[in-house]
Chain A
């Protein structure tokens, strides 16, 4: 095409203009025609994903459902056992209900606390202050390290009997607490690790806060509204879509928590931090009870789906969209 254009240049500018005009007209009608039809070349571009979807996502998804009805152990040929795995989990396996219970406690503690912190800090960071970028980095820092082992190692050191946390509290004459050794406390210690990493939720809240038009606050101020009142009537309702998104994502994540419980306490003491993800890992990859673990994973899936649906359904009553929701 470029060569063609050069040729036309030699033929004089008038001729060239006509050429270009004709060509662009042709091209335009051509693209129009193409746009109306399907462009099958797209399948070439999405082919990697299509293959990945079937091989690495859909197939495993269905396979795990099928495995869950077998006694798959990798040692012998799997045979169909019906609902046995599911029945055993609920009736014979005492660890199952225990781990389900503490996982629920963990999710109920860690997720709301994390979101509350994230929102609180985001609100402060939304005030026009100097060094805001510096503070944002400071609060985001623990989240960069995510569920890394280094952080879990750090947590283990911090909350040991002779660790930093007890050293600090002893300054205030608070008696030392066995953060990781006491079954009543260990789960909360692990939850704190999650709460500490509130950075990504904070960033989303911050973006949401910046989107709230300042006129709303000005109008409220003119009407003599107090700060808490503005928070309840303006900030919170307008942030509900982001609360909703954060809640779902953090919940899905928290139900699968693994690294903290595995590295910091390894499920102990007395199985007090034996989270569901940990039990799943042990059944599947330490005891190689693949069928059993698959059944367990499908129960987890059902729980996550149920909780997500509950949040979705309830959100009709508490999320607010500017283009008119159910309010």
Chain B
């Protein structure tokens, strides 16, 4: 009886707080279907008068570029960065997890230390460096650092994961004639798939949402990713078309949320299968 009362209170609290948490997001979606007058007139979600063209109108953008450009730009920026991060991080993590080499401890301590290195400290010299390389206003500023495994968090994550895979597998692979590279490709990468997916998902969501770095490195509108396009729209359209701006905000949120829902299932599977083995 006591437990039941406790559970009921928990449900009520969770629901009420949950509504407060997601109502803003729902309101944003609903507003994209309302007229501009109605958006700020009521707090209800269902539009009195449905506006169906705010997505089509918003997509046209405010200048000479449409959201097709901005979406493609974002994918051009994010997808190679994600792939480069996965490839470089797994190689480095393999080096740390499976080999003995001089200064290993010191170097791994550096991995951990760079985890806490604030971006704000290194951004100015990085900007000047990229300017000297001629990379400014290109996505190389994102691709190349990812290729050189500058996201220590992923190295750390993968090292932890690889340590969990028994070394006996490597040893039996050596007997079968594998060298260290084929062990990585044939044995460890297939087993580490869930962890590699996690790296990819994290990196996708982070790069997709990133605003500060694109603001610093990218400056021509034709190369703007969504974050900059939205920010440009909010400055230009300080007048009427709220619903169009909201519609485009909704669209930019869709890919990370989709990835999250896909990932949740994947994470659960990953945990379940490793749980069975352990």
Contact = CB atoms under 8 A, between A and B. Distances in A.
B177 interface: yes
A259 B116 CA distance: 20
Contacts of A285: 127, 215-216
A319 interface: no
A46 B92 contact: yes
Contacts of B180: 39, 41, 45
Contacts of A304: 118
Given A124-B10, A127-B7, A293 B124 contact: yes
Contact of A39 (B24, B99, B116): B99
Interface string B51-78: 0000000000000000000000000000
A145 B209 contact: yes
A197 to B, nearest CB: 10
A237 B145 CA distance: 40
Contacts of A157: 28, 31, 39, 242, 246
B125 A48 contact: no
Given A52-B145, A52-B150, A141-B22, A27 B174 contact: yes
Most A CB contacts (10 A, CB to CB) among B94, B95, B174 go to: B95
A298 to B, nearest CB: 7
Interface in B100-140: 100-102, 104, 107, 110-111, 114, 116-129
B192 interface: no
B270 to A, nearest CB: 14
B43 to A, nearest CB: 5
A133 to B, nearest CB: 8
A173 B211 CA distance: 38
Interface stretch (A10-18, A83-91, A146-154, A181-189): A146-154
A48 B88 contact: yes
Contacts, number: 254
Given A167-B43, A259-B211, A297-B121, A135 B18 contact: yes
Interface string B167-188: 0000100111100100010000
Contacts of B119: 256
A290 B231 contact: no
A50 B102 CA distance: 14
B151 to A, nearest CB: 9
Interface string A51-71: 111011101110110010000
29 contacts: A27-B174, A41-B180, A43-B95, A45-B99, A46-B92, A46-B95, A46-B96, A48-B91, A49-B155, A51-B148, A52-B147, A56-B148, A59-B129, A60-B129, A61-B121, A67-B125, A124-B14, A137-B264, A140-B260, A147-B211, A149-B228, A149-B249, A152-B211, A154-B25, A168-B43, A252-B118, A256-B118, A258-B211, A285-B216
Q: What are the 6 A-B residue pairs with the smallest beta carbon separation, nearest first?
A: A52-B148, A1-B177, A45-B95, A42-B99, A60-B125, A60-B122
Interface of A: 1-2, 23-24, 27-28, 30-31, 35, 37-46, 48-53, 55-57, 59-61, 63-64, 67, 74, 121, 124-125, 127, 129, 133, 135, 137-142, 144-154, 156-158, 160, 162-164, 167-168, 171, 196, 248, 252, 255-256, 258-259, 262-263, 277, 280-281, 284-285, 290, 293-294, 297-298, 300-301, 304, 308
Given A141-B257, A147-B212, A280-B120, 10 more contacts: A23-B175, A48-B88, A48-B147, A49-B148, A56-B129, A142-B22, A145-B209, A148-B208, A151-B253, A153-B230
Interface of B: 6-7, 10-11, 13-14, 17-18, 21-22, 24-25, 27-28, 31, 39-40, 42-43, 88, 91-92, 94-96, 98-102, 104, 107, 110-111, 114, 116-129, 145, 147-150, 155, 171, 174-177, 180, 184, 205-206, 208-212, 215-216, 226-228, 230-231, 234, 242, 245-246, 249-250, 252-253, 256-257, 260-261, 264
